């Protein structure tokens, strides 16, 4: 049992280290993330081809192969042009934040008419609008925000992992309670 706890603590420390590296070098972290996504797309393409031939009796072989080719092309494109992939990801996030902001502001305005509390909803919408506009305005440099956010998340996940493993150490094991 203690080997698992030690492994959990080691994983937490590793996540914190990786997160700190990503925070210190967010652009590099973004590019690494884009490459990981590219390889995942390539592996998905291989899996799709295998699935297409294994399930050829179901029909749709051409569509499944076409989908595999699209996965492979997208993965290859991202591997060849990781900066463009990071830029595209940042743009998509920027536009999503703007859409989220508009939606929350409209919903907050509707709720305000019904005398419901909507201040936080509107404030969140304004914040989303601001962040989305900032990301789009600062392209291409804002693509580093992706790496920064992933780094922060890795640090929090590492701290959580260590906290859970230390909590597990303090709790008596089932074997010791039975004795």
pLDDT of residue 179: 46
pLDDT at 112: 82
Mean predicted confidence (pLDDT) in 111-136? 85
* Separation of alpha carbons 96 and 59, rounded Å: 36
| Residue spans per domain, the chain | 2-172
pLDDT at 29: 92
pLDDT at 55: 85
- What six digits make up the tokens of 16? 């914190």
At residue 36, the pLDDT reads 94
Return the closest-CA partner of residue 8 out of 127, 124, 157. 157
At 6, is the pLDDT very low, low, confident or very high (cuts 50, 70, 90)?
confident
The token duo for 15 is: 């996540």
- What is the share, in percent, of the chain residues with pLDDT greater than 70? 89
Q: Please, are residues 14 and 159 in contact by the beta-carbon 8 Å criterion?
A: no
- For the chain, give the percent of residues with pLDDT over 90: 45
Structure-token pair, residue 7: 């492994």
Residue range 71-82, pLDDT digits in tens: 999 999 999 999
- Per-residue model confidence as pLDDT tens digits over 11-65: 999 999 999 999 999 999 999 999 999 999 999 999 999 998 888 777 788 898 9
Q: Is the dihedral of CA 69, 74, 77, 79 positive or negative?
A: negative
């Amino acid at each position: 049992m203690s080997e698992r706890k030690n492994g959990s603590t080691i994983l937490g420390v590793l996540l914190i280290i990786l997160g700190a590296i990503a925070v210190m070098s967010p652009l590099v972290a973004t590019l690494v993330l884009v490459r990981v996504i590219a390889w995942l797309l390539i592996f998905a393409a291989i899996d799709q081809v295998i699935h297409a031939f294994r399930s050829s009796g179901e029909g749709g072989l051409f569509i499944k192969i076409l989908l595999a080719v699209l996965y492979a092309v997208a993965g290859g494109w991202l591997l060849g042009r990781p900066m463009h992939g990071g830029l595209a990801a940042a743009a998509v996030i920027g536009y999503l934040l703007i859409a989220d902001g508009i939606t929350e502001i409209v919903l907050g305005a509707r709720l305000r008419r019904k005398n419901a509390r909507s201040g936080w909803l509107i404030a969140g919408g304004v914040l989303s609008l601001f962040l989305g506009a900032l990301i789009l305005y600062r392209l291409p440099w804002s693509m580093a925000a992706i790496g920064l956010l992933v780094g922060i998340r890795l640090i929090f996940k590492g701290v959580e992992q260590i906290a859970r493993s230390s909590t597990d150490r303090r709790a008596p094991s089932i074997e010791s309670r039975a004795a």
